[in-house]
Amino acid sequence: MIYIIKKQFLILIRDKGSLFFTVLFPALLVMILGNMLDKLDNPDSVIGDINLQYIGINTKILPKIDGVSFIEASSFEAAKIAVEADAATAAVQFSERGIELYQGRDSIKNRALESVFRGISIGAVNSEKTFVQTKNLGYNRTMLDYYAVTMIAMIVFMGGGVSGASTVFEERKNGTLSRTAMSPKSRASLYFGTVLSFLPQSALQVICTMLPSILIFNAHYANTIAGNLLLFSMFFIVGISTCSVFALVGLFIKINPTMVIMPAVWALMFLSGSFAQDVYITGFSDILPPRLVQNAAFELTIFGRYEKCVSAIIVSAFVLALSSVLGAIIFSRKAKI
Amino acid sequence: MDNFVSVSKLTKRYGDFTAVDNLSFEVKEREVFGFLGPNGAGKSTTLHVICNLTGFDKGEISVGGHDLRRETRIVKSLIGLVPQEIALYPTLSAYENVAFFASLYGLSGRALKSAVLEALEFVGLSDCVKKRAEKMSGGMQRRLNIACGIAHKPKLIVMDEPTVGVDPQSREQIMRSIRKLRENGATIIYTSHYMPEVQEICDRIAIIDGGRLAASGTEEELLKMVTDVKTITIDCPKIDEKIINFIVDLPDVKRVKYQEKLKIEVPLRFTGISTILQALVDNGVPVDNLKTDAPNLETTFLALTGKELR
Ligand SMILES: Nc1ncnc2c1ncn2[C@@H]1O[C@H](COP(=O)(O)OP(=O)(O)O)[C@@H](O)[C@H]1O
Ligand SMILES: [Mg+2]
């Protein structure tokens, strides 16, 4: 199988289209978003003052952040009512379980808030030390953190979908599919080799988003190295299984998959509320894979909880195994390919 | 010589359409077997069945003594296909293309490298080892297409119209390499609808039309099937009945008539042309021009199928 991986890698780095999706598109998105958010994040002009009603924590250990004022509420319920009445941006309840955030209607402020709370290292509410360490966090440079995760999720699904489906399409177009299939290598091993050859691509996609956003725009993901590795692993394996699923789809579609897959993935991303909360459909959007992956990532980056990431990895591995076995069987059984 | 490929009563349908209809033929070891037929005759379909690229409805196929259905993997390892449509990775170099396909047949390391370079040299592409397929001319791509099919040194090479749309130079190179392949011991099935090529390199020929076998045999056998007569035409002034009678009485001569020119029908293997000329010269008849119209594959094909080759 090594020769298939090698061949696919050569094709990847020589093909402008796939190189674009793997390297340039993520990097470009980081640049554009990074720059845009840098401007957007001017605290005075765009976001405005954030008015937080909080409960359950000692006032002295709250971080001092320009533009964010903390007002102690009598109860969480009362704070929520204030939010409903637009008297406060959000209500926060600090407790042993973590931080509960009740957000208002201003989506920009909400995003900023999420960044703030990600910054306050939520994992350890009962440890005052953590708060002290993160004291000079401002919300004006961390909106990218929020978007970066959304962005990676998008790239992983988009890139995986397009490259997964177009691999078979391209092979068929070049005529190389028949040529490969007539070799004495079993069809199943050829198919597995192809799925495996998505590995470098999937890794590159995530690296090309995470690295520049960290190095150039100072983006923050998880707070620990282990957390970041976990995050990377999740996106990586989600990427491969997306490739695998769409390679399976690609076995059946005879038209250029970019035409079909691109709109489909965009629709998927939109419906899962990745681009705008407005298209969010309760009950439906929640179960869409991009949404689940994004949520798992936020759980990790904002709240320091890794369970959902681990589940996402397990589910993705399962999907990967299932789809590639299914693909191998179908590919082997097809008389005419 | 033993049969290397045997196709017996092969039938292949696409829905209601029968592309190959009860087709049987044999290819002997180390021969170049020509597969001749107009477009849509079912040539590619037959070859694809042999290469296991598509299933078939009825029939038995064996390659090198192995049954295609029961010993698929062995059969596959014996075959190298040069497909009709160029099948290459456009962004890979000549070397990388050949190396990838050869590696699917178990070649690796130094053996792979030398096999690839040998195949490229074979088709005259030694100078463009690093050139990407997409940057090559049509003729060069055709030759690379061949190299990809032969690098693993298959016992049976199946070539589906390998010279379509190539420049004369590439065509010559391809013809040369086919001859060399046979010298090296390969058995070759060669498909074409271009008559002179088939005549030039094939030992035996099968003519198929509408999925059926119209005829098969050596070129000579095929020609005989239609007619075993050739016509000698001599440009000369009107001659005496006496000379005509003399010619008619020569052994093997079938018919003689004079219609502006002297026309003599003789068997294909007639050897008495010099006797006829001598008789004319002895009688003071000036001979201006002489030509023999032997039936060729072109006319044979027309007679057998009622169609002209494209
Ligand atoms: N996949 C297919 N589905 C339906 N018909 C096909 C298919 N492939 C070939 N045919 C038909 O089978 C016949 C034989 O085709 P082919 O073997 O390609 O002919 P040749 O190679 O002799 O030109 C043609 O009439 C063609 O239209
Ligand atoms: Mg054909």
Q: Domain with B143 in it: what CATH number?
A: 3.40.50.300
Is the pLDDT confidence value at A144 over 70? no
Give the rounded percent of residues in chain A with a pLDDT score beyond 70.
73
Delimit the domains of chain A by residue range.
Answer: 2-40+139-333, 50-121
> Are B255 and B205 members of one domain?
no
B114 part of a folded domain: yes
> Are B8 and B50 members of one domain?
yes
Tell me the chain B residues in contact with residue A180 when contact means C-beta distances shorter than 8 Å.
Answer: 101, 104
Whether B14 lines ligand 1, by a CB cut-off of 6 Å, is yes
| Residue appearing with tokens 């299914």 | A326
pLDDT top residue among A229 and A148: A229
Q: Of the residues B191, B223, B255, which one is the last residue of a structural domain?
A: B223
Residue B194 CB coordination number (10 Å): 16
Beta bridge partners of residue B11, listed in sequence order: B58
The residues, any chain, with a CB within 8 Å of residue A267's CB and separated by 6 or more, are: none
The residues, any chain, with a CB within 8 Å of residue B207's CB and separated by 6 or more, are: B36, B37, B213, B214, B215, B216, B222, B300, B301, B304, B305
Instruction: Output the six-digit token pair for B214.
Output: 């119209």
For residue B127, the enclosing domain spans 3-223
Q: Of the residues B204, B223, B242, which one is the last residue of a structural domain?
A: B223
B181: nearest Cα among B105, B119, B260: B119
DSSP class of residue B132 equals: B
Instruction: Output the six-digit token pair for A152.
Output: 């990676």
Sheet containing B3-14: order of strands: B17-28, B3-14, B58-63, B66-67
Stretch A301-314: mean pLDDT: 86
Whether B218 lines ligand 1, by a CB cut-off of 6 Å, is no
- A185 touching chain B per CB within 8 A: yes
Ligand 1 mutation target, pool B7, B17, B198, most atoms within 8 A of CB: B17
| Residue appearing with tokens 């397929």 | B133
Residue B270's alpha-carbon distances to A152, B228, B266, B274, B281, in angstroms, are: 83, 10, 6, 11, 20
Report the alpha-carbon distance of residue B124 to residue B143 in Å, rounded: 8
Report the alpha-carbon distance of residue B64 to residue B74 in Å, rounded: 9
Task: Locate the chain B residue with the closest alpha carbon to A332.
Answer: B53
Q: Are B211 and B41 in contact (CB under 8 A)?
A: yes
Stretch B218-230: mean pLDDT: 79
Beta bridge partners of residue B17, listed in sequence order: B14
B157: nearest Cα among B165, B147, B167: B147
Is the pLDDT confidence value at B273 over 60? yes
B307 part of a folded domain: no
Task: Locate the chain B residue with the closest alpha carbon to A180.
Answer: B101
* pLDDT reported for residue B263: 87
A138 to chain B, minimum CA–CA distance in Å?
48
* H helix or E strand, kind and range, residue B281: helix B273-282
Mean pLDDT for all residues in chain B: 89
> Which stretch, A121-135, B107-121, B193-207, B221-235, has highest mean pLDDT?
B107-121
B27 part of a folded domain: yes
> Are B155 and B71 members of one domain?
yes
C-beta atoms of A182 and B105 within 8 A: no
> Are B168 and B280 members of one domain?
no
* pLDDT reported for residue B14: 92
Of A287-301, A311-325, B290-304, which gets the smallest average pLDDT? B290-304
User: Residue B17 CA: which ligand 1 atom is closest?
Assistant: 5
B163: nearest Cα among B131, B129, B201: B201
Burial grade of A196 (CB within 10 A; 0-12, 13-18, 19 or more): middle
| Residue appearing with tokens 């691999």 | A167
> Are B168 and B129 members of one domain?
yes
* pLDDT reported for residue B310: 54
Report the alpha-carbon distance of residue B99 to residue B94 in Å, rounded: 9
Which of A2, A3, A16, A333 best tests the B interface by mutation, with the highest count of B CBs <10 A? A3
Whether B185 lines ligand 1, by a CB cut-off of 6 Å, is no
Report the alpha-carbon distance of residue A22 to residue A18 in Å, rounded: 6
Output the DSSP codes for A282-333: TTTGGGSHHHHHHHHHHHHHHH---HHHHHHHHHHHHHHHHHHHHHHHHHHH
Sheet containing A90-95: order of strands: A68-72, A50-55, A90-95, A98-103
Tell me the chain B residues in contact with residue A15 when contact means C-beta distances shorter than 8 Å.
Answer: 91
* pLDDT reported for residue A129: 27
Q: Of the residues B203, B223, B243, which one is the last residue of a structural domain?
A: B223
Nearest by CB: B103 against A3, A178, A337: A3
> Are B55 and B179 members of one domain?
yes
Whether B192 lines ligand 1, by a CB cut-off of 6 Å, is no
> Are B288 and B204 members of one domain?
no
- Tens-digit pLDDT profile for residues A170-190: 888 899 998 998 999 998 999
What ipTM was assigned to the predicted interfaces of this complex?
0.77
> Are B117 and B142 members of one domain?
yes
Q: What is the 3-state secondary structure (H, E, C) of B16-48?
A: CEEEEEEEEEEEECCCEEEEECCCCCCHHHHHH
At A148, is the pLDDT very low, low, confident or very high (cuts 50, 70, 90)?
confident
Looking up residue B282, the CATH number of its domain turns out to be 3.30.70.100
* Tally of structural domains, chain B: 2
> Are B269 and B163 members of one domain?
no
- A97 touching chain B per CB within 8 A: no
pTM of structure: 0.76
* pLDDT reported for residue A46: 42
> Are B235 and B218 members of one domain?
no
Report the alpha-carbon distance of residue A251 to residue A166 in Å, rounded: 10
> Are B200 and B283 members of one domain?
no
> Are B214 and B272 members of one domain?
no
Tell me the chain A residues in contact with residue B90 when contact means C-beta distances shorter than 8 Å.
Answer: 174
Is the pLDDT confidence value at B33 over 60? yes
